[in-house]
Amino acid sequence: MENPSKSLSRSAIVLRAGLVMAIGVALSYGIPIALSDIGAGAWAKATLGAHGFYEIYIAAGFAGVLIAAMAMQRMGPLRALEALGIANIAPLGCVLALAAMAAAIATLLYARARYQAADGAELLLFGIVGPFVEEVFFRGFLFRQMRKWAGAPFIVAALLSSLLFGAGHFDQGSSLADSLMNAGVTFLGGVLLSWLVERWGSIWPGFIVHAGLNVVWTVFALGDNAVGGSAGNIARLATVVIVLAGTAMLARSERPA
């Protein structure tokens, strides 16, 4: 198919990329405010438990992403899943990501990292559901729609989507310096995950890495946010090296279509 960056004018590319970012900001920050304003937070927690508000937020965000993708490209739900990188499984990339996570766990076991009790609901939401929705939103929608619909260059799409990804994790620090470091680590992780989507044409290898690291951070006592301690950062480095090297050797680069 025709590359959008070759058929669109520069002003059209900027306008489309800006529209994707505007929708991304609205979904990131507008939905929680709207839910709070109508009193959905207290109802959700009373009905669905302590994480109820988060469950409603991610459900609304996921629906918003699907609707936005369908509207932008005038497609049905099944084609929207393809546009978001969900339909393509990329089995080889998934196996590579699982190998990287196995290396991270082996590193922590060798370092005798301390275990911690994990709440089942928290593990499910922040270890599985949350990373899936974030990958669909930040990589499947923001990154891929900037690349495939707006025709933005890789570096522009990766940086913009990752900036919003990092900003969304800024409030997880215990101090200004901690918040800045957490947002910075998350930003760099977003760039890596965008590159994985670019090379594999799928969100699934990145999702396995994202979810795997979240689960590791939940099961092992590595810190309250993405900054982590020495053991956690060594394990994360092992993950990054494996997925970078393996993807560079095994995957092909996706082109905007």
User: What is the tens place of the pLDDT at every residue in 84-101?
Assistant: 999 999 999 999 999 999
Rounded CA-CA distance 136/197 in Å is 11
Which of the four pLDDT bands, split at 50, 70 and 90, describes residue 3?
low
Q: Mean pLDDT over residues 60-76, rounded? A: 92
DSSP letters, 145-168, are: HHHHTS---HHHHHHHHHHHHHHT
Rounded CA-CA distance 162/165 in Å is 5
* pLDDT score, position 6: 64
User: What is the tens place of the pLDDT at every residue in 157-170?
Assistant: 999 999 999 988 77
Residues contacting residue 125 through CB under 8 Å, at least 6 positions apart: 51, 54, 55
Which of the four pLDDT bands, split at 50, 70 and 90, describes residue 113?
confident
Q: Mean pLDDT over residues 205-214, rounded? A: 96
User: What is the tens place of the pLDDT at every residue in 19-59?
Assistant: 999 999 999 888 888 888 888 888 888 888 888 888 888 88
Comparison of pLDDT for 177 and 172, the residue scoring more: 177
105 has a pLDDT exceeding 60:
yes
253 has a pLDDT exceeding 80:
no
Residues contacting residue 21 through CB under 8 Å, at least 6 positions apart: 142, 146, 160, 164
Rounded CA-CA distance 57/41 in Å is 9
The answer to whether the beta carbons of residues 83 and 148 sit under 8 Å apart is: yes
Report helix angle 40-48 to 52-73, nearest 10: 110
Rounded CA-CA distance 172/212 in Å is 19
Short-list 188, 198, 20, 215, CA closest to 126: 215
- DSSP-derived 3-state class of residue 23: helix
Short-list 237, 156, 246, 256, CA closest to 198: 256
What is the number of residues in the chain?
257
Percent of the chain with pLDDT over 90: 57
Which of the four pLDDT bands, split at 50, 70 and 90, describes residue 181?
confident
